[in-house]
Amino acid sequence: MKITNICCIGAGYVGGPTMAVIAKKNPNIKVTIVDINAERIAAWNDEDVSNLPIYEPGLAEIVEETRGKNLFFTTEIDKTIKESEMIFISVNTPTKTYGKGKGMAADLKYVELCARNIAEVATTDKIVVEKSTLPVRTAQAIKSILHNTGKDVKFSILSNPEFLAEGTAVQDLLNPDRVLIGGESEEAIESLANVYASWVPQDRILRTNVWSSELSKLTANAFLAQRISSINAISELCEHTEADVNEVAKAIGMDSRIGPKFLNASIGFGGSCFQKDILNLVYIARSYNLQAVADYWEQVIILNDHQKRRFSDNLISTLYNTVSGKKIAMLGWAFKKDTNDTRESAAIYVADHLLSEQANIAVYDPKVNGEKVQADLNYLNTRSEAENKELVKSYNDPYEVTKDAHAVAIMTEWDEFKTYDWQKIYDQMKKPAFIFDGRNILDPIEMKNIGFEYSSIGK
Ligand code: NAD
Ligand code: UGA
C-alpha cells in the first residue's frame, strides 16, 4: 500500500517527536497527530515553538520546519482516521489503578478505545500500527475488535514499538539502533518499512512476528532497568567497603561483553516506563503461572524502591536524625536531564519521604514549574494539598533555592548544576552545609575543599 496519509492517535512524548521526524523525512506524506486533549493540541499548534507541550532538544526546530506543511495537530480524530491509510496508536498505557491487575497490569482502555474508534469510522482499508508499549498478545484483542465491525474494510495490524529515550528523543529517532516491525502481512510490513527507509538503513529495520515484537519492547526496558538496579545494588556494597562505584562501573564496562552504558549509579530510575513495563512483565509471567520468572524481574523494582528510600534515609540520618523544619533544597525534579517529564521521578518519592519527616522542601528545576511539583505530590495523596503547598516551595533561581538551606540534594543530572558558583552557594547555606549528590555529578574534592559535607552514591 502506498502511504500518503498517516494518522497518529496520541500527541504525547512518543507521538509528537516520532511523527515530527517521520514528517521531516517524508515530505510527501501528510502526517496528522490527533488527541482528545484539546489543550495539548493547542500547545502543539502554538506559534511560539518554545511553548510546545514537550521539551526535547532539537524538537522545536523540526516542528517549526514541518508544521503546516506536512505535519498537523488536531482534535478532529474521526476525520483524520478516515483520511489515512496508516494509523499509529500512540496513547498512554499506564499501570492499572483499579480492578484485576491493579498496580501491576497495563491499563489498555485507551488503546481499546482507539481500536473501537478506528473500527467505527473507517470506510477504507487501514494499516493499524501499535506504537504504544503493550503486553504480549495485545494485537490479538485489537484484531478481534477491528475484524468484527461487519464492514467490508480490511485491517492489517503491526507492532512497531518505540525505543526512544526522553531527553535524546530526536537523536534516537534520527539515528535508531534498530526499528522493529512485527506483523503477519508482508505487504503491510513493507509499507511501514518504506516509511522508515527514507532515513533508516534497511539492515536496521527488523521484521519479526507480532508477538516477538511486542515482547521485545518489554524485554528491552526490563534489561535496561535491570542494569541500573544491578549497579545500584553494587553502590550500596561500595559504601560499606570503600570501593568506588564509578571505578567499578568503569572497570566492568570496559569488558566488551558488558559495555559501558547504563551503569551510572543513581537515586534510582524514574520515568513513565521502566517501572510500568516491568510490573507488566511480572504480571504477564504470573498470569502464565511462571512464579520464578515473575519474582526474578520484580526484584529490579524492589531494589529501585530500596535505592530511593536509602537516599532519603541517609539524608535524614546525616542531618542528625531530624529534618523537621529544615530547608532541603532539591536541585532537579525531572526524572532525567533534558526533559520536562516528571513521571515516576525519584525526586517525588524522596520529597514525599522527607515531607513526612516535616522537612521544608525547596525545588529548582530548569524545565519544571511549581504547579507540576505540587501536582506530582498531590497525586500521591500522602497529605493534604494545603500541607504540600505550605511545605514545598519552587524557585526560579538556583541561588535563591539554596539560600539558608541545611542541605542540597541533587536529584537530576542537569548539566548546568555542574557549572554553578558552589562557593557562593556554600556561603549562603546553613553550616555545616551538606550536599547529597544523587547523580554523582559534582567533583567531591572541589566540594570538600569549599567546606561542604559532601556525600554521593556508592562511595
Ligand atoms: P503520553 O501520556 O505523553 O501521551 C499519550 C497521549 O494520548 C495523551 O496526550 C492522551 O491525551 C492521548 N490519548 C489517550 N487516549 C486517547 C484517545 N482515545 N484518543 C486520542 N488521544 C488519546 O504518553 P507517552 O509517553 O507518549 O507514551 C505513549 C506510549 O508509548 C506508552 O505506551 C508508552 O509506554 C510508550 N513509550 C513511551 C516512551 C517515552 O519515552 N515516553 C518511549 C517509548 C514508548
Ligand atoms: C527508557 C529507555 O531507555 C527507552 O529505550 C525506552 O523507549 C523508554 O524508556 C520507554 O519505553 O519509555 P527513558 O525512560 O526516557 O527511556 O530514559 P532513560 O535514559 O532510559 O532513563 C530512565 C531512568 O533511568 C532515568 O531516571 C535515568 O536517570 C535513570 N538512569 C539511566 C540511571 O539511573 N542510570 C543510568 O545509567 C541510566
The DSSP line for 401-432 is HHTT-SEEEE-S--GGGGGS-HHHHHHTS-SS
Distance 389 CA to ligand 1 centre (A): 29
Q: How far apart are CA 30 and CA 7, in angstroms?
A: 8
pLDDT of residue 203: 98
Share of the chain above pLDDT 90, in %: 98
Helix (H, G, I), strand (E, B) or coil at 284: helix
Flag whether pLDDT at 282 surpasses 90: yes
> pLDDT tier at 408 (50, 70, 90 boundaries)?
very high
Report the separation in Å between the CA atom of 167 and the middle of ligand 2, taken as the mean of its atom positions: 9
What's the 336 CA to ligand 2 centre distance in angstroms? 8
pTM of the model: 0.96
Residue with CA nearest ligand 1 atom 11: 37
Task: Find where cell 534497511 sits.
Answer: 202
For residues 149 and 145, give the distance between their C-alpha atoms in angstroms, rounded to a whole number: 7
pLDDT digits (tens, 9 = 90+) for 236-246: 999 999 999 99
Q: Evaluate: CB of 32 within 6 angstroms of ligand 2.
A: no
What is the number of alpha carbons within 13 Å of residue 92 lying toward its C-beta? 13
DSSP 267: S
Atom 27 of ligand 1, nearest CA residue: 92
Ligand 2 centroid to 180 CA: how many Å? 19
To the nearest 10°, report the CA torsion of 103, 108, 109, 113. Answer: 170
Beta strands per DSSP E along 298-446: 327-331, 360-364, 392-394, 407-410, 434-437
**Residue 144, number of CB atoms within 10 A of its CB:** 10
CA pair distance 158, 351, nearest whole angstrom: 41
**Would you put residue 6 in left (φ > 0), alpha (ψ -120 to 50) or beta?**
beta
Spatial distance between the Cα atoms of 99 and 279, rounded to a whole number of angstroms: 15
Q: Of the residues 336, 339, 343, which should be mutated to test ligand 2's pocket, given the most ligand atoms within 8 Å of the CB?
A: 336
Note the pLDDT of residue 2: 87
Mean pLDDT, residues 201-230: 97
Q: Is the CB of 262 under 6 A from ligand 2?
A: yes
Q: Which amino acid, residue 22?
A: I
The set of residues, in sequence order, having a beta carbon less than 8 Å from that of 142 and lying 6+ positions away, is 89, 111, 112, 115, 128, 130, 157
pLDDT tier at 192, thresholds 50, 70, 90: very high
Active site residues: 273
Q: Is 101 in the pocket of ligand 2 (CB under 6 A)?
A: no
**DSSP bridge pairs for 31:** 6, 71
Summarize the confidence of residues 148-166 as an average pLDDT: 93
* Amino acid 189: pLDDT: 98
Contact assessment for residue 18 and residue 192, using Cβ atoms and an 8 Å cutoff: no
For position 373, what pLDDT does the model report?
A: 98
Compute, in angstroms, the gap from residue 165 CA to the centroid of ligand 2: 6
Closest CA relative to residue 196, chosen from 205, 184, 186: 205
Classify burial at 141, counting beta carbons within 10 Å of its beta carbon; exposed 0-12, middle 13-18, buried 19 or more.
middle
| Rounded-to-integer distance, Cα 182 and Cα 191, Å | 12
- Mean pLDDT across 242-269: 98
Cis preceding linkage at 17, omega within 30: no
Nearest-CA residue for ligand 2 atom 17 is: 165
Residue nearest to atom 13 of ligand 2 (CA): 165
Length of the chain measured in residues: 459
**C-alpha 141 – ligand 1 centre gap (Å):** 19
Query: What sign has the CA pseudo-torsion 274, 132, 54, 179?
Result: positive
pLDDT of the residue at 1: 80
**Do the Cβ atoms of 175 and 144 come closer than 8 Å?**
no
The C-alpha cell that represents 22 in the structure block:
517521520
Atom number, ligand 2, closest to the C-alpha of residue 345: 26
C-alpha cell at 244: 568506588
Q: Helix H segments across 84-208? A: 109-121, 138-146, 169-174, 186-197
Asked if residue 17 has its Cβ within 6 Å of ligand 1, the reply is no
Residue with CA nearest ligand 1 atom 38: 14
Tell me which residue has its CA closest to atom 29 in ligand 2: 269
CA-to-CA dists, residue 333 to 274, 311, 340, 343, 376, angstroms = 18, 15, 9, 10, 10
Measured from the Cα of 134, ligand 1's closest atom is 32
- For the sheet with 86-89, list strands across it: 71-74, 30-34, 5-9, 86-89, 126-130, 155-159, 179-183, 205-208
Which atom of ligand 1 is nearest the CA belonging to 277? 34
Whether omega before 57 lies within 30 degrees of 0, making that bond cis, reads no
For a substitution probing ligand 2, which of 159, 175, 213, 221 has the most ligand atoms within 8 Å of its CB?
221
Q: Which of 166, 173, 250 to mutate to test the pocket of ligand 2 (most atoms within 8 A of CB)?
A: 166
CA distances from 361 to 146, 347, 349, 406 (A): 50, 11, 12, 11
Least confident window among 149-158, 169-178, 208-217, 388-397: 149-158
The per-residue pLDDT for range 53-92, each reduced to its tens digit, is: 999 999 999 999 999 999 999 999 999 999 999 999 999 9
Task: Please work out whether the CB of residue 303 comes within 6 Å of at least one atom of ligand 2.
Answer: no
**How confident is the model at residue 149, as a pLDDT?**
80
Nearest bound ligand to the CA of residue 120: 1
Q: What integer pLDDT is reported at residue 151 of this predicted model? A: 85
User: What was the pLDDT predicted at 379?
Assistant: 96
Confirm or reject: Cβ of 279 under 6 Å from ligand 1: no
Q: Locate the ligand 1 atom nearest the alpha carbon of residue 117 and give its number.
A: 18
pLDDT digits (tens, 9 = 90+) for 292-319: 999 999 999 999 999 999 999 999 999 9
Ligand with an atom nearest the CA of residue 276: 1
Q: Whose CA is closest to atom 16 on ligand 2? A: 165
State the CB neighbour count (10 A cutoff) for residue 27.
12
Per the CB < 8 A criterion, the answer to whether 27 and 46 are in contact is no
Residue 87 grid cell: 494509523
Q: Answer whether residue 174 shows pLDDT above 90.
A: yes
**Mean of pLDDT values over 107-117:** 96
Mean pLDDT of the chain: 97
Greatest C-alpha distance within the chain? 75
